[in-house]
Amino acid sequence: MSDPLIRIEDASPMGMVTLRAELNDGKAASALAFSGLEIPAPHQVTGTPEKGVLWMSPDELMIMTLPDASDAMVATLNEAFEGTHSLAVNVSDARSAFRLKGRDALVREVLAKLTPADMRPASLPVGRLRRTRLAQVPAAFWFTGDGEAMLICFRSVGGYVFDLLSKVAEEGTEVGYF
């Protein structure tokens, strides 16, 4: 369609490292601080998509790096957690990432056509992560600013997710709700 509701940009590759560890004993915080990173509060996002952290679960973080810095991040984390039960693994190649841009209400509308998540601004403000379902696949997204959101999913369904977002953002499909 000539004039889609929002812009959908491929943001792959992103550097991504999964960290499974006890997050509350201070060790994780100091390990991340060493790399200039901060552990987010539950559901929160700290930093930026180039250098930041996503809170994935009570014992899981996703560290975002520049694409070529993820192996180094794994090494740094392994060193920092030496002797402590933890798991750091590079998952950069296992993910696809998209950047959604447009009027804030329209970015929310496009996502609300695909996910059961509460997309109201008060429920999903800038900097809050939502892991959820996007049509038939798992995905996670967060707003990085007004009308700007990041979305990640598994690489094998990256094409499906792009087609999906493009379809529901076609011209003439505005709901006018948010």
Partner 1 sequence: MLILTCPYCGVACDETELHPGGEAHLKRFGPDASDEDFEGYLFQRKNPRGVHFERWRHAYGCGKWFHAARHTVTLEVFGTYPAQVFEPPEKIRAAILAKLPDWETGA
Partner 2 sequence: MSHRLQAGGRLIDRSKPVRFAFNGKTFQGFQGDTLASALLGVDQMLMGRSFKYHRPRGVVASGAEEPNALMGLGRDHSYEPNARATTTELFDGLEAETQNHWPSLEFDIGAINAKLSRFLPAGFYYKMFLWPRSFWKHVYEPFIRESAGLGRPPKRRDRDTYEHFNVTTDVLVVGGGIAGLTAAMTAGEAGAEVLLVEQNAHWGGRAPVDGAEIDGMPAEDWIAQIVAALQAMPNVRMRNRCMGAGVYDHGYTLLSERLSDHAPDAPGPRQRLWKVRAGQIVTATGAIERPLSFAGNDLPGVMLASAVRDYVVNFGVAPGAKTVVVTNNDDAYRTALTLKAAGLEVPAVLDAREQATGPLAEAARAAGIRVITGRGVAGVTGKGRVQVVEACRQQSDGGAVEAIEADCLAMSGGWSPVVHLWSHAGGKLTWDEADAHFRPDPDRAPKGASGDNFVRSAGTASGFLTTNDTLFNANSAGRAAAMSLGHKARNLAPEAAGEKRQPTAQIWLMPEHAPYAKRAISWLDFQNDVKVSDVELAAREGYESVEHTKRYTTLGMATDQGKLSNINGLAVLSKELSVPIPEVGTTTFRPPYTPVRMGAIAGEAKGVLFQPIRKTPMHDWHEANGAQFEPVGGWRRPYAFPKPGESVEDAVAREVNATRGNVGLLDASTLGKLIVKGPDAGRFLDMLYTNMMSTLKPGKCRYGLMCSENGFLIDDGVVARLDDDTWLCHTTSGGADSIHAAMEEWLQTEWWDWKVYVANVTEQFAQIGVVGPKAREVLDAVGASFDLSKDGLPFMGWSDGTLGGLPVRAFRISFSGELSYEIAVPASHGQALWDKLLEAGEAHGITPYGTEALHIMRAEKGFIMIGDETDGTVIPQDLGLDWAISKKKDDYLGKRAQMRTHMTDPLRWKLVGLETLDGSVLPDGSYAVADGDTPNGQRKTQGRVTSSYHSPTLGRGIAMGLVERGPDRIGEVLNFPALDGSPVEARIVTPVFIDPDGEKQNV
For residue 161, the minimal CB distance to partner 2 (Å) is: 8
Contact between 8 and 107 (Cβ < 8 Å):
no
Residue 132 sits in the site that holds partner 1 (CB under 8 A): yes
Number of H helices, E strands in the chain: 4, 10
Among 24, 57, 84, 156, binds partner 1 (CB under 8 A): 57
Question: Which CB, 9 or 25, lies closer to partner 1?
Answer: 25
User: Can residue 84 be called a binding residue for partner 1 (CB under 8 A)?
Assistant: no
Closest CA to 54 of 70, 66, 38, 68: 38
Q: How far is the CB of 175 from partner 2 (least distance, A)?
A: 6
Q: Which among partner 2, partner 1, none contacts residue 56 (Cβ within 5 to 8 A by kind)?
A: partner 1
Residue 133's binding partner, choosing from partner 1, partner 2, none, with beta-carbon cut-off 5 to 8 A by kind? partner 1
Q: Are 6 and 13 in contact (CB under 8 A)?
A: no
* Residue 17 CA: distances (Å) to CA of 12, 53, 117, 157: 14, 9, 25, 19
Among 131, 154, 160, 173, binds partner 1 (CB under 8 A): 131
